[in-house]
Structure 1
């Protein structure tokens, strides 16, 4: 989740990230309440995920980030379900181009494990919880990306393996 690797990407290079929309069988998604890279930006809710390591594919990064950030070990996260390009601020006054590939994975609800969190994640991650799309749309807290509730609804529409969406 840290922006150190983002700021280290060579100038002019697009920063590549993978994110995973983990969805439990009631249609809720796991989000972390995480401090932003720039202190002036708000702490916000976001999905597990992060930057690609050198030579890593988006899929490999998604699998690794899930293990590191949640303790969930999976062989695959399937095919990308969504992608987005945006400009972010990995350091104060430094603006960079980003490309994220998003994956969607239905799981039984679990409590994340922090055994592989970095020292920075132990400071930056303030909380975690499972959210319904309605709860996410109604929260006054910052969410990244801001349109996550709408993205969540789109990615869950018609998804097999859910017991019944309740919000």
Structure 2
């Protein structure tokens, strides 16, 4: 069974994380949510922290940098930061590991594990683009929350499903929540 670690940060777009978690099938899910993510969640959604935590098999506080997922000896398949704030993006690019989310990223990079960051901000500043380039050059998959329009979206749900389907694909998780190119 795959092991997926999910970090939710304080960027706008908590709904992306919830939709991602709701669609992970046949995987053990380890979740970390930053304090900023909780604040954004309260402002943007009707979701409770308890509901989001219930979507994971294991939950860790972002302040617990000694949690088992912070160790290179904890083997997992993919680490997804969704949504990824510009601050978290910058910290990961600079190798700063002052929270559990950034520590997992730092350890995953040194262990050459799959990392996917889903920046949600727009437009991208030059600094954000430089940080994304730096991460990409270090084998981190940078997957901005940009929907495809060939699937002819007719609702917000369709737009979300497109983005989440791509992140699930990148995580190696089978799904059929959005049309594929030939289906469009």
Q: Going by fraction, where is strand more abundant, 1 or 2? A: 1
Instruction: With the length of structure 1 as denominator, give the TM-score of the two structures.
Output: 0.28
Q: Going by fraction, where is helix more abundant, 1 or 2? A: 2
Instruction: With the length of structure 2 as denominator, give the TM-score of the two structures.
Output: 0.26
